[in-house]
Amino acid sequence: AQSVAQPEDQVNVAEGNPLTVKCTYSVSGNPYLFWYVQYPNRGLQFLLKYITGDNLVKGSYGFEAEFNKSQTSFHLKKPSALVSDSALYFCAVRDYGQNFVFGPGTRLSVLP
């Protein structure tokens, strides 16, 4: 069965510093991986995906993620954090039946 782990409940980073939100996954076959962001009382917004191809995936709002097959990881990164990046971030993996399995979420706080 597919599973997703986000080992950190909370990540704090100073504005202007680089940020990393970690994600590891377990899936049979080739993974389809996604990152979403959620602001308070809103739905999830898609940030980026890995289906195939380059291991470094670029997405919305300056975010990128690095797919590492050997470590089964898909960490979300941004070179310079903004206060407005403060939100809840979810990693997800999709199985062949079109169902998505979400991680528990990581709350990112960017401090001014």
Partner 1 sequence: DGGITQSPKYLFRKEGQNVTLSCEQNLNHDAMYWYRQDPGQGLRLIYYSQIVNDFQKGDIAEGYSVSREKKESFPLTVTSAQKNPTAFYLCASSMGVWPQHFGDGTRLSIL
Closest CB 103 distance from partner 1, rounded Å: 6
Which residue, 36 or 63, has its beta carbon nearer to partner 1?
Answer: 36
Among the listed residues 85, 91, 111, 107, the one whose alpha carbon sits nearest the alpha carbon of residue 10: 107
**Angstrom distance (rounded) from CA 28 to CA 37:** 25
Residue ranges in contact with partner 1 by CB under 8 A: 32, 34, 36, 41-46, 49, 51, 90, 94, 97-100, 102-105
Closest CB 50 distance from partner 1, rounded Å: 11
